[in-house]
């Protein structure tokens, strides 16, 4: 058993080397990938995603019947169900087009998406302002996690901003951010238009979004979303056992929340952090691996790069700025991107791992909680 002063010294020296990039970390070998199946998944992606979107939204309509039914008949044009509006928003997000080209896309794929009637571009635009559409998108994040509910056990959390102006690039502004704001989880300032702020918790194996929150209030930092995002992940994946995050999440109360869910935390601490519990017994337990076996601790921690890869892929696949102007519509547009990511990942796993991407049939009663 190491003496407390020696343990503290060894711990802080290890953290210093990791922070400086001088620690002799031995990386794990990359996992094997069947590139032939991956190529086939790519060539079938659009059709597979369209079919999966239709099937998943039909399941959602079965569980929430009012979303699949027409509103009360009134004079005028026949109303459009919520589910059809949700399909329109998701397909528009997948294709990365504006409202008018989206209406053309929906007319082309009306049969495959099983839309009740043709859409005008005005109907597509109005869907982004409806609370029911946002609630349904959140429900779809739940549904798209059902196929892996008892398979995914590790998660990595991180936040990022989506640009609302062409002149703003989040990574550039983040790279120039310095001081207490960055350390405290504040998003970088934008000289033109504010970011749509997001936090995602990503499964380490399947890469699905298992926790998500979007907002536009510039006074709320990344850490403010942790509880809501983490609570969603725990509800979706009761067998979760590992939670990863960068130094922002290296706080005793965060580690305590993770420990309450019977999970282990791997958050890289700051340079002068100590192993003192200060009222949180799980704190030294989560960090002592950096003293006892730093290679093993880092092999788990460095899986956190998969959430960074998620943010890179999300923006690279659809580099367009957030088009909507109203706050509600911006949150809907950002959440639709997360849903599209999950649908696309499930389509790929259908080929690569022969995973059944359809929802497995459990309750959605806690979506609004």
> In this predicted model, what pLDDT tens digit does every residue of 200-253 receive, in sequence order?
999 999 999 999 999 999 889 899 999 999 999 999 999 999 999 999 999 999
Which token pair is 252?
A: 């005793």
* Banded model confidence at residue 116, pLDDT cuts 50, 70, 90: confident
**Is 361's pLDDT higher than 60?**
no
> pLDDT over 70 for what percent of the chain?
87
Would you tell me the crossing angle of helices 305-317 and 327-352 to the nearest 10 degrees? 110
**Is 142's pLDDT higher than 90?**
yes
Q: Looking at residues 161-188, what average pLDDT do you find?
A: 69
- Return the pLDDT at 67: 86
Mean of per-residue pLDDT scores for the chain = 89
Whole-angstrom distance, CA of residue 167 vs CA of residue 192: 8
- Return the pLDDT at 323: 92
**Is 348's pLDDT higher than 70?**
yes
Which of 17-31, 134-148, 162-176, 311-325 is modeled with the greatest confidence? 134-148
Whole-angstrom distance, CA of residue 312 vs CA of residue 329: 23
119, 106 Cβ separation under 8 angstroms: yes
Residue closest to 133 by CA, chosen among 181, 88, 187:
88
**Is 2's pLDDT higher than 60?**
no
**Is 179's pLDDT higher than 90?**
no
pLDDT in tens, 44-87: 999 999 999 999 999 999 998 888 876 656 676 778 899 999 99
**Domain spans of the chain?**
4-30+150-311, 35-145+324-352
pLDDT in tens, 278-290: 999 999 999 999 9
Residue with tokens 């725990």: 234
Q: What is the pTM of this model?
A: 0.91
**Is 1's pLDDT higher than 70?**
no
**Is 369's pLDDT higher than 60?**
no
Residue closest to 51 by CA, chosen among 139, 132, 111, 136:
111
**Is 362's pLDDT higher than 60?**
no
* Banded model confidence at residue 118, pLDDT cuts 50, 70, 90: confident
Residue with tokens 């503290």: 8
**Is 37's pLDDT higher than 90?**
yes
Residue 102's CB is within 10 A of a number of other CB atoms, namely 21
pLDDT in tens, 128-140: 999 999 999 999 9
Secondary structure of the chain in HEC code, one letter for each residue: CCCHHHHHHHHHHHHHHHHHCCCCCCCCCCCCCCHHHHHHHHHCHHHHHHHHHHHHHHHHHHHCHHHHCCCCCCCCCCCCCHHHHHHHHHHHHHHCCCHHHHHHHHHHCHHHHCCCCCCCHHHHHHHCCCHHHHHHHHHHHHHHHHHHCCCCCEEEEEEEEECCCCCCCHHHHHHHCCCHHHHCCCCCCCCCCCCEEEEEEEECCCCCEEEEEEECCCCCCHHHHHHHHHHHHHHHCCCCCEEEECHHHCCHHHHHHHHHCCCEEEECCCCCCCCCCCCCCHHHHHHCHHHHCHHHHHHHHHHHHHHHHHHHHHHHHCCCCCCCCCHHHHHHHHHHHHHHHHHHHHHHHHHHCCCCCCCCCCCCCCCCC
Q: Looking at residues 261-266, what average pLDDT do you find?
A: 96
Which of 7-16, 200-209, 352-361 is modeled with the greatest confidence? 200-209
Whole-angstrom distance, CA of residue 354 vs CA of residue 348: 9
- Return the pLDDT at 235: 96
């Amino acid at each position: 058993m190491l003496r407390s002063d020696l343990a503290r010294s060894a711990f802080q020296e290890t953290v210093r080397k990791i922070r400086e990039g001088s620690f002799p970390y031995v990386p794990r070998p990359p996992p094997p990938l069947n590139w032939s199946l991956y190529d086939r998944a790519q060539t079938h992606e659009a059709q597979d995603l369209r079919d999966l979107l239709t099937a998943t939204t039909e399941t959602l309509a079965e569980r929430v019947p009012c979303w699949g039914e027409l509103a009360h008949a009134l004079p005028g044009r026949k109303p459009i169900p919520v589910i059809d509006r949700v399909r329109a928003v998701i397909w528009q997000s997948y294709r990365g087009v504006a409202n008018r080209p989206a209406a053309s896309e929906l007319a082309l794929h009306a049969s495959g998406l099983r839309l009740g009637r043709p859409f005008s571009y005005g109907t597509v635009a109005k869907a982004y302002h409806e609370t029911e559409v946002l609630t349904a998108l959140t429900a779809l994040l739940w549904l798209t996690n059902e196929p892996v509910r008892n398979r995914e056990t590790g998660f990595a959390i991180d936040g990022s901003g989506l640009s609302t102006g062409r002149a703003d690039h989040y990574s550039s502004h983040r790279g120039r951010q310095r001081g207490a704001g960055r350390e405290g989880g504040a998003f970088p300032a934008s000289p033109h238009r504010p970011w749509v702020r997001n936090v995602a918790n990503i499964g380490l194996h399947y890469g699905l979004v298992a926790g998500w929150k979007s907002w536009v209030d510039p006074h709320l930092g990344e850490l403010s979303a942790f509880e809501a995002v983490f609570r969603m992940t725990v509800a979706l994946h009761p067998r979760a056992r590992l939670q990863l995050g960068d130094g922002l999440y290296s706080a005793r109360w965060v580690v305590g929340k993770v420990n309450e869910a019977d999970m282990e935390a791997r958050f890289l601490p700051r340079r002068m952090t100590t192993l003192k519990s200060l009222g949180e017994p799980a704190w030294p337990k989560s960090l002592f691996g950096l003293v006892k076996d730093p290679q093993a601790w880092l092999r788990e921690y460095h899986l956190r790069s998969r959430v960074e890869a998620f943010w890179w892929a999300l923006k690279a696949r659809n580099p367009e700025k957030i088009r909507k102007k109203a706050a509600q519509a911006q949150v809907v547009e950002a959440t639709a991107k997360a849903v599209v990511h999950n649908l696309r990942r499930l389509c790929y796993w259908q080929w690569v791992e022969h995973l059944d991407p359809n929802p497995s049939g459990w309750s959605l009663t806690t979506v609004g909680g």
